[in-house]
Amino acid sequence: MTEDEAPGEDDAENLVAGGFASLPIIGVAAGEGGESSSGASNSKKDPRTIARGYQLELCKKALEENIIVYMGTGCGKTHIAVLLMYELGHLIKKPQKNICVFLAPTVALVQQQARVIEESTDFKVGTYSGNSRRLRSHQDWEKEFAQYEVFVMTPQILLRSLNHCFIRMELISLLIFDECHHAQVRSNHPYAEIMKVFYDSSLTKLPRIFGMTASPVVGKGASDQENLPRSINSLENLLHAKVYSVENQVELERFVASPKINVYCFHPDINMISSICKKLEEIKSQCVLSLRRKDEDHRTLLSTKKLLLRMHDKLIFSMENLGLWGALQACHILLSGDFAERNELMEAEGSASDDRLCDKYLDQSTCVLASECMKDGIGSDISSVEVLKEPYFSRKLLRLIGILSTFSDLHQLDIKNAFLHGDLQEKVYMEQPFGFVAQGEIGKITKEGNLFEDLERYKRLVEKLNYLTVTCLDIAYSARRQPNMKCIIFVNRIVTARSLAYILQNLKFLSNWKCDFLVGVHSGLRSMSRKTMNIILDKFRSNE
């Protein structure tokens, strides 16, 4: 649920669906020597049979010159790269000594793209990432050259191999950059270093360059359209390539579903949690004051104070964004981990601090938040919650729960119009969801017993919610969950990801949603290994 890329993103879009008629074969010669694609004709697997028209056109262009394909996520950029490999097979296939190098910025992408190439072509594919300790000499790499035709690797591996002359640029017939937007002139990214240092345009033999990106702008200002021309120029200059996209948008829309974007606005009510914030502030101040009476060294005291302030900031952030339940769960998470893991959760340094004082702050904060959550009949266990309202759940979280509940199996919820984010003065009768139709009430929409003249306007007034009131008793019903429904929620803090995952997993209103969280393997959490990430991703793909 963090920024880690999930499956189905651009780097996985290459699993193009089949079922299309065989398309015309590209007969364009490769740049070197004008030879025909003899390697392609002898191949058993033919990626052209499932290629889309615009993919074939862009592949044709890539055979003529270095290009950068600029298309959105899910448009099939990687399949264009596969088509290009296929068409240049006569340069790569054994007994030729030239190779194709496919660069991907992460280990996960290396493994994923290698699988796609193996499934789509007959090339012998080798993967290289991490330290590659087994490849420390020219002899080691010579064995790889003798065995493989396509080398899928992280850019650090290629940069190091070029530096040590294990791989020479003139041996690479095709050099592919996945997520090539990292290759900016002013960047020190390995992509940029490879092109600046080793791609000498004065050489007589250079690889064909093929770049792929869904966003040419990287870093701050990525969403600023004013930065787009400058970033495109930087990419073109560094990669010695031209940027191309799909001209026929009508054809693109035939294959790529355009997302429907809904923007939900909310304004957190700080006044509802101000008294609780004051209590937590008092606990924090008492803990900070107690540091002055300690005899520990200055560095430890400073580190402890810094960690306390960060913990307090995380709890307030969780309360404002998730509500009291979110802040309470954040306390439980921070108390459950060991010292090192807690520092990682707080994105703090691993220097020594007073762990007991941190526990004291969290214990007292937990008592305050748990006491608040038990008010108004709210139980101490979130799975027993019957009423969803502020400040126990923030407006943003209520909005999210409302959206998810529209795709859940039918449940009767006593929510007192909490999902409507404001009290309606009139009684509302709306269309019943599938599977729950009260006799005589179908399609009835009234206000205090009088039929509204403008029914569409009234529907918009309550934001066209699908799980709307069907009786006068403030009872709502959610619709049945659609088959194979999936949801990805991005957050910007590890604690938020873990707290939100726990809340969504344990609310009985959302019992048909199976929820887990993902954070990067470099987050420092012991529980989040690459193996664990792959297990979670496999369950996500298989609807578990």
Residue 194 has pLDDT above 80, yes or no: yes
Q: What pLDDT, in 10s, does the model give residues 502-512?
A: 999 888 778 77
Lowest mean pLDDT among 89-98, 262-271, 455-464, 522-531: 455-464
- Please report the sign of the dihedral spanned by the C-alpha atoms of residue 339, residue 341, residue 345, residue 346: positive
Global pTM reads: 0.62
Yes or no: say if 209 and 216 are a contact pair by the CB < 8 Å rule: no
For residue 260, the model assigns a pLDDT of 77
Task: Note every long-range contact of 247-252, with CB atoms under 8 Å and residues 24 or more positions apart, other chains counting.
Answer: 247/54, 248/53, 248/54, 251/52, 251/53, 251/54, 252/54, 252/71, 252/75
Question: Rounded CA gap, 103 and 89, in Å?
Answer: 18
Q: What pLDDT, in 10s, does the model give residues 138-156?
A: 999 999 999 999 999 999 9
Lowest mean pLDDT among 286-300, 343-357, 458-472: 458-472
Whole-number Cα distances in Å, 241 to 11, 68, 391, 459: 21, 6, 54, 52
DSSP state for residue 271 in the 8-state scheme:
G
Yes or no: say if 318 and 327 are a contact pair by the CB < 8 Å rule: yes
In the three-class reduction of DSSP (H, G, I as helix; E, B as strand; rest coil), residue 409 is classed as coil
For residue 348, the model assigns a pLDDT of 54
- Band (pLDDT 50/70/90 cuts) for residue 65 is very high
Question: Rounded CA gap, 364 and 370, in Å?
Answer: 10
Closest CA to 482 of 536, 433, 432: 433
- Is 334 exposed, middle or buried, given 0-12, 13-18 or 19+ CB atoms closer than 10 A? buried
- Band (pLDDT 50/70/90 cuts) for residue 129 is confident
For residue 55, the model assigns a pLDDT of 93
- Band (pLDDT 50/70/90 cuts) for residue 522 is low
Closest CA to 343 of 351, 248, 436, 492: 351
Element (H, E) at 497: helix 494-506
For residue 408, the model assigns a pLDDT of 60
- Band (pLDDT 50/70/90 cuts) for residue 518 is confident
Mean pLDDT of 271-280: 87
Question: Rounded CA gap, 90 and 37, in Å?
Answer: 6
Share of the chain above pLDDT 90, in %: 29
Question: Rounded CA gap, 187 and 480, in Å?
Answer: 49
For residue 81, the model assigns a pLDDT of 96
Whole-number Cα distances in Å, 508 to 395, 408, 425: 19, 11, 28
Q: What pLDDT, in 10s, does the model give residues 313-332?
A: 989 998 988 989 999 998 98
In the three-class reduction of DSSP (H, G, I as helix; E, B as strand; rest coil), residue 332 is classed as helix
Query: Can you list the alpha helix ranges (DSSP code H) found in 431-493?
Result: 455-461
Q: What pLDDT, in 10s, does the model give residues 362-387?
A: 999 999 998 888 876 666 678 777 66
Lowest mean pLDDT among 44-48, 56-60, 229-233: 229-233
Residue 427 has pLDDT above 70, yes or no: no
Yes or no: say if 311 and 334 are a contact pair by the CB < 8 Å rule: yes
For residue 218, the model assigns a pLDDT of 63
Across the chain, what does the average pLDDT equal?
Answer: 75
Question: Rounded CA gap, 333 and 319, in Å?
Answer: 14
Residue 450 has pLDDT above 80, yes or no: no
For residue 340, the model assigns a pLDDT of 54
Mean pLDDT of 73-78: 88
Q: What pLDDT, in 10s, does the model give residues 18-28?
A: 322 333 333 33
